[in-house]
């Protein structure tokens, strides 16, 4: 059907198709960052610093919790892409319906997490008494919309598995515009403050989720969704969890290691250092988002071609995604580092804060492409099937090494540079380990696969 946007990943030239897949993903990530900032900007401009602090204080906790479940959506994308490449249409159908129901159930579970654990977790994080009530209110309202957020992410994962990255971008854009508009409406017109931006966020998520579900229900591919067929198929659940759980756990542990880095930054007992670090992290997010699009490309293209037993395309997929992620990482990283004083000046008028932020920004951004290299190889490994091994490598290299660095090298030489250099060191070590892991898995996988018949059209 003409309304479906399916990218043939298993034949034809790779360079253009990889870009066609990745560019909308990059734009989606950037839009997500911009729209997430809308809550903080609106309450900061129209309600006050306390409300802005209340919203901002929940971000790391929200990410820590939701990223685990978003890892499951990565598992759904890998499984659907693999079946699609195999042309196993009944398995595609089962995986699609299992994934959407999984997303909804995960979202419902998060409602209870947000309602009952918001206050104790925020207290554990040391949220100040003057903002904690507003923080709890914001977090509880936002988590009430988690079913919609999870359904969108799982649904978008299904669309991306067949090469459609444009419509998830369009749905996210619609939801984001509504989010900004409702934020302004509830805060300025009704003076609802923190509650207003939280409600606007939830309503925008329902819009994006509804558009995604409608798209899947009208699909002319094997990914067509029928609400009456929603069920958990145990075989598909296990396969999704086998990929998704390690990915989710990896995200959680990465967040924990970043919390430890933040604690080390806090140990300098300087608000200027903390502010500079915070501003730099925000800017780095845009560079990371650009590179992550090629991690998704390596994961999805490898999954489909592995399912189709197209052994001759696996190495070129890895080669092109490594080239692209290096180019994007170097270009965006250099741009962020070179324009660092101006970018940091958006966040603060303090010269000291800008100076401290530049220490981190320049070191991280000039070497950030190595993080992209690490992720792309990890995505290719997962696309071949294994998920636990690359997770263990990433946790040991990027997290374990970083934590050990804090308690040894940084403890012996307490400077910001010494602390921040742990990032590129851990990325390079993890990249090398992942390359070795990929080579071993690729050789073993190639020996056991047999060519499939010529590809046919989706039913």
What does each of the 459 residues of the chain score in pLDDT, given as a tens digit?
345 667 888 888 999 999 998 998 888 888 877 776 677 667 766 776 566 666 766 766 777 777 777 778 888 988 998 899 888 999 999 999 999 999 999 999 999 988 898 888 888 766 667 778 888 998 999 999 999 999 999 999 999 888 888 898 899 889 888 988 998 899 888 888 888 988 998 999 999 999 999 999 998 888 999 999 999 999 999 999 988 888 888 777 777 777 677 677 767 877 678 777 777 887 888 899 899 899 989 988 999 898 888 889 999 999 999 999 999 999 999 999 999 899 888 767 778 888 988 999 999 999 999 999 999 999 899 888 877 888 888 778 777 888 899 899 999 999 999 999 999 999 999 999 999 999 999 988 888 776 554 444 333
**CA-CA-CA-CA dihedral for 406, 410, 415, 417, to nearest 10:** -70
In whole angstroms, what is the distance from residue 131 CA to residue 322 CA?
44
Angle between helices 311-338 and 14-46 (to 10 degrees): 40
The answer for residues whose C-beta is within 8 angstroms of residue 22's C-beta and 6 or more apart is: 165, 293, 294, 296, 297, 324
Per the CB < 8 A criterion, the answer to whether 132 and 122 are in contact is yes
**Tokens matching residue 361:** 């920004």
pTM of the predicted protein model: 0.80
In degrees, rounded to 5, the angle at the alpha carbon of residue 458 between the alpha carbons of residues 452 and 459 is 115
In whole angstroms, what is the distance from residue 208 CA to residue 149 CA?
8
Q: How would DSSP label each residue in 337-386?
A: HHTHHHHHHHH---HHHHHHHHHHHHHHHHHTHHHHHHHHHHHHHHHHS-
**Tokens matching residue 354:** 């800008």
In whole angstroms, what is the distance from residue 175 CA to residue 164 CA?
18
Per the CB < 8 A criterion, the answer to whether 180 and 43 are in contact is no
Per the CB < 8 A criterion, the answer to whether 201 and 144 are in contact is no
The answer for residues whose C-beta is within 8 angstroms of residue 189's C-beta and 6 or more apart is: none
In whole angstroms, what is the distance from residue 385 CA to residue 243 CA?
8
In whole angstroms, what is the distance from residue 332 CA to residue 343 CA?
13
Per the CB < 8 A criterion, the answer to whether 343 and 357 are in contact is no
In whole angstroms, what is the distance from residue 35 CA to residue 104 CA?
23
Give the pLDDT score at 457: 37
**Tokens matching residue 348:** 């603060």
Per the CB < 8 A criterion, the answer to whether 362 and 337 are in contact is yes
């229900």: which residue's tokens?
217
First to last CA, the chain: 11
Comparing CA positions, the residue from 41, 38, 56, 14 lying closest to residue 274 is: 56
In degrees, rounded to 5, the angle at the alpha carbon of residue 164 between the alpha carbons of residues 160 and 168 is 75
**Tokens matching residue 389:** 């091994």
């Amino acid at each position: 059907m003409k309304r479906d946007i399916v990218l043939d990943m298993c034949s034809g030239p790779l360079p253009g198709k990889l870009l066609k897949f990745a560019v909308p993903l990059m734009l989606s990530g950037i839009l997500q960052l911009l729209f997430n900032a809308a809550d903080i900007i609106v309450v900061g401009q129209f309600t006050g610093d306390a409300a802005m602090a209340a919203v901002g204080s929940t971000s790391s906790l929200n990410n820590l919790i939701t990223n685990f479940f978003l890892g499951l959506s990565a598992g759904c994308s890998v499984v659907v892409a693999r079946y699609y490449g195999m042309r196993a249409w009944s398995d595609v159908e089962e995986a699609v319906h299992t994934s959407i129901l999984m997303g909804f159930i995960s979202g419902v579970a998060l409602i209870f997490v947000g309602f009952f654990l918001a206050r104790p977790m925020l207290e554990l994080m040391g949220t100040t008494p003057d903002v904690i009530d507003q923080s709890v209110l914001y977090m509880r309202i936002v988590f009430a919309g988690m079913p919609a957020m999870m359904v969108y992410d799982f649904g978008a994962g299904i669309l991306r598995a067949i090469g459609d990255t444009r419509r998830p971008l369009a749905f996210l854009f619609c939801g984001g515009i509504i989010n900004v508009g409702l934020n302004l409406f509830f805060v300025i017109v009704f003076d609802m403050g923190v509650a207003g931006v939280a409600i606007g966020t939830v309503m925008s998520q329902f819009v994006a989720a509804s558009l995604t579900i409608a798209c899947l229900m009208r699909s002319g591919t094997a990914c067509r969704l029928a609400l009456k067929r929603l069920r958990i198929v145990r075989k598909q659940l296990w396969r999704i969890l086998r990929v998704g759980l390690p990915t989710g756990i990896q995200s959680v542990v990465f967040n924990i290691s970043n919390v430890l880095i933040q604690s080390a930054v806090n140990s300098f007992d300087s608000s200027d250092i903390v502010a500079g670090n915070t501003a730099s992290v925000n800017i780095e997010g845009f560079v990371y988002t650009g590179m992550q699009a090629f991690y998704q490309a390596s994961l999805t293209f490898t999954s489909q071609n592995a399912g189709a037993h197209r052994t001759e395309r696996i190495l070129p997929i890895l080669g092109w995604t490594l080239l692209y992620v290096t180019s994007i990482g170097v270009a965006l990283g250099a741009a962020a580092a070179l324009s660092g004083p101006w970018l940091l000046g958006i966040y603060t008028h303090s010269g000291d804060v800008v100076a401290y932020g530049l220490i981190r920004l320049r070191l991280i951004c000039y070497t950030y492409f190595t993080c992209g290299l690490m992720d792309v190889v990890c995505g290719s490994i997962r696309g071949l099937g294994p998920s636990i091994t690359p997770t263990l490598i990433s946790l040991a290299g990027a997290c374990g090494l970083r934590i050990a660095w804090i308690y040894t090298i940084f403890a012996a030489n307490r400077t910001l540079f010494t602390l921040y250099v742990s990032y590129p060191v851990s990325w390079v070590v993890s990249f090398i380990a992942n390359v070795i892991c990929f080579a071993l898995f690729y050789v073993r996988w190639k020996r056991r696969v047999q060519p499939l018949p010529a590809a046919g059209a989706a039913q």
